């Protein structure tokens, strides 16, 4: 949790419980945004798109200059629910729009939870109504907690950019701990900016931030039908930022930092994870090769179980490199683990020390550095280890 969570003027959060899957725990979140707000949404690449994702994409194209409302629920993904699923999300969105006197397209829905079960519309609608009545600009922690499923804790990042006497704030939260892999990764992420930025810049900043954050993490290679990232400005007229200005560039960097830290939180809290593993590829022929090798190593069950067992099993890492489809030769491969030399020229580095490598493996933070010796491109992926707990959590999720 950050020391200070900066409020975003005009943005308010209300939570309540639908009293369904999670008992009386708050599982429904309402976010109110001012009429000046601009929104940028990016969604899952999975062809199985959840009903709320379909509606969100549609509505985001038709926003009007009125207040906007995000409706987010945990516990039911409303995915693979067919035409009825679409009717369901449409019905509770329309109802909240009507009761809030705004255009129905200004309601943007998000869902996370079990796939394929009909969403209990009445229960969530009641929760959204209750949440609407208690919104507050300070309820970040409640908001970040209400959207969780298998996560063990809320994930919030808040940053400030000072330019002269003006402070620009960026605060966001995210959830997701399995089913995480680009393009892109997290189940749900919401980041808010206290500034007025153009829609074009907002979209570009969002895209750039994703490339360096959620698109570089993987837990199990599985994506979800509900993956969504929302980046919104409040359109604060006192904090107008000109397109292409140096302030915009600096703010863009801060926003990317917020996304990156949220990504790290997701990996640290990945299902059953006991370690955070960074796979850094260097000297690749091109970006495609660097990415491909990074994900092959990061998603190899044999590498991930070795990490869980604190085993500096460089043979499995090298073997995963060797089976990557875009790898042409492995004779120049060098591998380091937290700066301990493991592999040189495609086989064991003469300086390798089992004792020192094992010592590094005891740490929670593992950096696997792989130099391919084929070119100059680099790419970095973050992942978690594969533990017994991952299996337990996922073999028992619906029960």
Interacting residues of 33 by C-beta distance below 8 A, sequence separation 6+: 10, 11, 39, 67, 68, 69, 70, 232, 234
- Is 186 considered catalytic here? yes
**If binding is defined by CB under 8 A, does position 345 make contact with its own copies?**
yes
Q: How far is the CB of 137 from its own copies (least distance, A)?
A: 36
Q: How many residues bind its own copies (CB under 8 A)?
A: 62
42 vs 48: CA distance, rounded Å: 15
Contact positions with its own copies (CB under 8 A) in 216-275? 220-225
**If binding is defined by CB under 8 A, does position 388 make contact with its own copies?**
yes
**If binding is defined by CB under 8 A, does position 373 make contact with its own copies?**
no
For the chain, what is the largest distance between any 2 Cα atoms, rounded to a whole number of angstroms? 72
Q: How far is the CB of 386 from its own copies (least distance, A)?
A: 6
Q: Near its own copies by CB under 8 A, which window of 103-111, 138-146, 190-198, 307-315?
A: 307-315
Q: Which two tokens stand for residue 278?
A: 């960074």
**If binding is defined by CB under 8 A, does position 390 make contact with its own copies?**
yes
Q: Near its own copies by CB under 8 A, which window of 4-12, 34-42, 283-291, 343-351?
A: 343-351
DSSP letter string over 198-259? -HHHHHHHHHHHHHHTGGGEESSS---TT-EEEEEE---GGGB--TT-HHHHHHHHHHHHHH
Q: Which two tokens stand for residue 379?
A: 């790419």
Q: Near its own copies by CB under 8 A, which window of 15-23, 151-159, 325-333, 375-383?
A: 325-333
Q: Near its own copies by CB under 8 A, which window of 16-24, 65-73, 141-149, 342-350?
A: 342-350
Q: How far is the CB of 395 from its own copies (least distance, A)?
A: 3
- The closest of 109, 112, 192 to 151, measured between CA atoms, is 112
Residue 69 or 121: the one with the smaller Cβ distance to its own copies is 121
Residue 23 or 354: the one with the smaller Cβ distance to its own copies is 354
Among 343, 368, 372, 381, binds its own copies (CB under 8 A): 343
**If binding is defined by CB under 8 A, does position 140 make contact with its own copies?**
no
**If binding is defined by CB under 8 A, does position 329 make contact with its own copies?**
yes
Q: How far is the CB of 84 from its own copies (least distance, A)?
A: 8
Contact positions with its own copies (CB under 8 A) in 150-169? none
Interacting residues of 147 by C-beta distance below 8 A, sequence separation 6+: 29, 72, 74, 110, 112, 173, 175, 188
Query: Is the peptide bond preceding residue 184 cis, with omega within 30 degrees of 0?
Result: yes
Interacting residues of 226 by C-beta distance below 8 A, sequence separation 6+: 44, 50, 52, 53, 77, 79, 110, 111, 112, 187, 188
Give the residues across from 189 on adjacent strands.
Answer: 174, 229
172 vs 253: CA distance, rounded Å: 15
Contact assessment for residue 190 and residue 172, using Cβ atoms and an 8 Å cutoff? yes
Among 70, 127, 230, 386, binds its own copies (CB under 8 A): 386
Write out the H or E segment, with its range, that includes residue 283. Answer: strand 276-284
Determine the 3-state secondary structure of 92 from DSSP.
helix
**If binding is defined by CB under 8 A, does position 313 make contact with its own copies?**
yes
Contact positions with its own copies (CB under 8 A) in 40-59? 45-49
**If binding is defined by CB under 8 A, does position 85 make contact with its own copies?**
yes
Among 328, 339, 355, 362, binds its own copies (CB under 8 A): 328
Contact positions with its own copies (CB under 8 A) in 57-76? none
12 vs 305: CA distance, rounded Å: 43
**If binding is defined by CB under 8 A, does position 114 make contact with its own copies?**
yes
CB atoms < 10 A from the CB of 38, how many? Answer: 22
| Dihedrals phi, psi of 122, to nearest 5 degrees | -60, -45
Contact positions with its own copies (CB under 8 A) in 173-192? 178-179
Contact assessment for residue 88 and residue 81, using Cβ atoms and an 8 Å cutoff? yes
Q: Which of 149, 186, 233, 256 is the catalytic position?
A: 186
Residue 9 or 302: the one with the smaller Cβ distance to its own copies is 302
Residues found near its own copies in the complex (CB under 8 A): 45-49, 77, 79-82, 85, 114-116, 178-179, 220-225, 299-302, 305-306, 308-309, 311, 313-316, 318-323, 327-330, 343, 345-348, 386-388, 390-392, 394-399
Catalytic residue positions, numbered: 186
């Amino acid at each position: 949790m950050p020391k200070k969570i900066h409020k975003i003027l005009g943005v308010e959060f209300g939570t309540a419980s639908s009293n369904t899957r999670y008992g009386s725990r708050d599982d429904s979140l309402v976010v109110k945004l001012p009429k000046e707000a601009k929104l940028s949404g990016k969604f899952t690449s999975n062809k199985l798109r959840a009903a709320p994702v379909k509606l969100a994409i549609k509505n985001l194209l038709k926003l009007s200059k009125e207040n906007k409302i995000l409706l987010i629920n945990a516990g039911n993904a409303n995915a693979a629910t067919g035409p009825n699923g679409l009717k369901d999300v449409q019905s509770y969105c329309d109802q909240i729009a009507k009761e809030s006197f705004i255009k129905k397209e200004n309601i943007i829905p998000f869902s996370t939870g079990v796939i394929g079960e009909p969403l209990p519309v009445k229960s969530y609608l009641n929760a959204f109504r209750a949440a609407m009545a208690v919104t507050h600009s300070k309820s970040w922690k409640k908001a970040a907690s209400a959207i969780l499923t298998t996560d063990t804790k809320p994930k919030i990042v808040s940053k400030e950019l000072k330019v002269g006497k003006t402070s620009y704030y960026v605060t966001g939260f995210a959830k997701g701990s399995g089913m995480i892999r680009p393009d892109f990764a997290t189940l749900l992420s919401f980041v808010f900016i206290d500034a007025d930025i153009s829609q074009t810049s907002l979209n570009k900043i969002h895209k750039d931030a994703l490339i360096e954050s959620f698109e570089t993490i993987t837990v199990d290679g599985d994506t979800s039908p509900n993956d969504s990232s929302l980046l919104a400005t409040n359109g604060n007229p006192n904090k107008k930022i000109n397109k292409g200005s140096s302030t915009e560039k600096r703010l863009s960097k801060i926003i990317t930092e917020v996304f990156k830290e949220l990504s790290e939180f997701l990996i640290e809290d990945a299902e059953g994870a006991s370690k955070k593993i960074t796979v850094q590829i260097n000297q690749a022929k091109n970006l495609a090769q660097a990415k491909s090798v990074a994900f092959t190593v990061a998603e190899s069950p044999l590498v991930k179980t070795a990490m869980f067992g604190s085993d500096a099993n460089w043979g499995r890492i090298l073997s995963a490199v060797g089976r990557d489809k875009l790898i042409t030769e492995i004779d120049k491969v060098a591998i380091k683990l937290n700066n301990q030399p493991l592999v040189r020229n495609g086989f064991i580095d003469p300086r390798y020390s089992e004792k020192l490598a094992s010592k590094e493996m005891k740490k929670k933070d593992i950096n696997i550095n792989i130099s391919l010796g084929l070119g100059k491109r680099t790419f970095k992926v973050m992942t978690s280890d594969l533990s017994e707990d991952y299996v337990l959590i996922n073999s028992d999720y619906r029960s």
